[in-house]
Amino acid sequence: MITTTIRKLSPRAEFCLVLAVCCWWAIYSSVLSIAHRSWTNGSQAQEHFIGIGIVLGEQGHNVIIQEILPHTPASEAGLSSGLVIQKIDGISLVGKPLKDCGDLVRGLTGSKVTLELVDPANNKTNTVELTRELIPTPPPRARITDHSTLLVTLFELLGLVITFGIARARGWPLAAWGFKPSWKDIGAGVLLCLVTAGIMIAIIATANAIYSGMIHGHLAGHLSLPILVFFLVINPIFEETIETGYFVQSLQRYGMLTAILASALFRAFLHAYQGISAAVVIFPLGLIFGFVYWKWRRLWPLFVAHALFDVYAYFRFHDP
């Protein structure tokens, strides 16, 4: 009965059905995120604190800058996330609780604070003096946990099962999509990741140069190893199968530009919770992946590159 009904669907109805059953949770979350940002910015009074606009974190035994808030003394001074703070106003942070370190950053409006910073990338030490200002409190972010990650990943797995079920009912030539792995595809995925990463770094640097603090990392929670591995296996396959493979295969009759543009726009929309990053970073990433898939018609390079990006993002921005 269900199979017969699916076979009778028009290509447009089938396209909408796949998106609805596979990505309803992501679409729902993105709509809520967009609405929340609009309501928060437009109708709610925002709390403030006095500081320099940094969020502190711990990495090993070091206190680091985990996030730079936009339009603050820290962003205007060109500070970036990942810098290690050794001293605040000459006081060593070794062994101090994170709360006490935060208290040292705060003070009276217009007062000065001196940070001794170490850049782990080149092991260089730098000292900066900033003036404390009234800083808007950033909106709280949902904590990523094992439970929430497992739930999302199971939804993605269900989406893949449904997609392949519809594919079987409608006789899609899935072999032509490029699911079969090879060492060549894996190597191509690593190369794609490196090339794309270079382009993304240039885009982020340009965006932050134009508008300081525009793009910053989004903090993640700490995940257990089994949940992390499960996510790293399912998420790249789900996203690239639906956002790239399915979009390009379904819309290719309308031409390369339409198929790739639609794929990239959908990818950016599903990452709307990342704010401006979805437009500045995720959309260009979708264009690159869409073009590569259009040319190669192989999904495995995209799976590998996506997984490598996920690994980097987790270990770069997760809570220790």
* Whether residue 195 sits in one domain with residue 52: no
Instruction: Read off the tokens for 149.
Output: 């990650």
Determine contact, residues 117/79, Cβ cutoff 8 Å. yes
CA distances from 144 to 97, 112, 149, 255 (A): 23, 35, 7, 39
* Whether residue 310 sits in one domain with residue 273: yes
Lowest-confidence region among 133-142, 214-223, 227-236, 256-265: 214-223
* Whether residue 157 sits in one domain with residue 114: no
* Whether residue 190 sits in one domain with residue 294: yes
> What is the signed CA dihedral for 169, 175, 178, 180, rounded to 10 degrees?
110
Q: Is the pLDDT of residue 216 over 80?
A: no
| Section 299-306 average pLDDT | 96
Q: Is the pLDDT of residue 320 over 80?
A: no
* Whether residue 153 sits in one domain with residue 103: no
Q: Domain boundary at 89, 106, 136, which?
A: 136
Query: What distance in Å separates the CA atoms of residue 88 and residue 138, rounded to the nearest whole number?
Result: 23
Whether 256 maps to a domain, the answer reads yes
What's the structural domain count of the chain? 2
| Section 184-212 average pLDDT | 87
Whether 261 maps to a domain, the answer reads yes
Higher pLDDT, 117 or 168: 117
Residue 271: how many other CB atoms lie within 10 Å: 24
Q: Is the pLDDT of residue 291 over 50?
A: yes
Q: Is the pLDDT of residue 134 over 60?
A: yes
pLDDT at 43: 43
CATH of the domain at 121: 2.30.42.10
Q: Domain boundary at 136, 158, 176, which?
A: 136
Query: What distance in Å separates the CA atoms of residue 118 and residue 60, rounded to the nearest whole number?
Result: 14
pLDDT at 250: 86
Q: Is the pLDDT of residue 82 over 50?
A: yes
* Whether residue 202 sits in one domain with residue 177: yes
Element (H, E) at 26: helix 11-43
* Whether residue 313 sits in one domain with residue 232: yes
pLDDT at 36: 54
Lowest-confidence region among 44-48, 249-253, 258-262: 44-48
Whether 219 maps to a domain, the answer reads yes
Whether 278 maps to a domain, the answer reads yes
20 conformational bin, left if phi > 0, alpha if psi -120 to 50, beta if neither: alpha
pLDDT at 138: 60
Q: Which one-letter DSSP state was computed for residue 138?
A: P
Determine contact, residues 70/212, Cβ cutoff 8 Å. yes
Distance of CA 208 to the CA centre of its chain: 17
Which residue carries 């309308």 as its tokens?
Answer: 254
* Whether residue 113 sits in one domain with residue 158: no
* Whether residue 123 sits in one domain with residue 75: yes
Query: What distance in Å separates the CA atoms of residue 160 and residue 152, rounded to the nearest whole number?
Result: 13
Q: What band does 44 get if pLDDT is binned at 50, 70 and 90?
A: very low
Domain span holding position 53: 48-136
> What is the signed CA dihedral for 128, 113, 138, 306, rounded to 10 degrees?
30
Whether 79 maps to a domain, the answer reads yes
Lowest-confidence region among 27-36, 37-46, 162-171, 226-235: 37-46
* Whether residue 178 sits in one domain with residue 287: yes
* Whether residue 308 sits in one domain with residue 253: yes
Q: Is the pLDDT of residue 187 over 70?
A: yes
Element (H, E) at 63: strand 62-68
Higher pLDDT, 1 or 280: 280
pLDDT at 84: 92
* Whether residue 218 sits in one domain with residue 117: no
Q: Domain boundary at 86, 105, 136, which?
A: 136
| Section 19-46 average pLDDT | 62
Whether 33 maps to a domain, the answer reads yes
Q: What band does 241 get if pLDDT is binned at 50, 70 and 90?
A: very high
Whether 128 maps to a domain, the answer reads yes
Whether 42 maps to a domain, the answer reads no
pLDDT at 298: 94
Tell me which range, 144-148, 197-201, 208-212, is most confidently predicted by mean pLDDT: 197-201
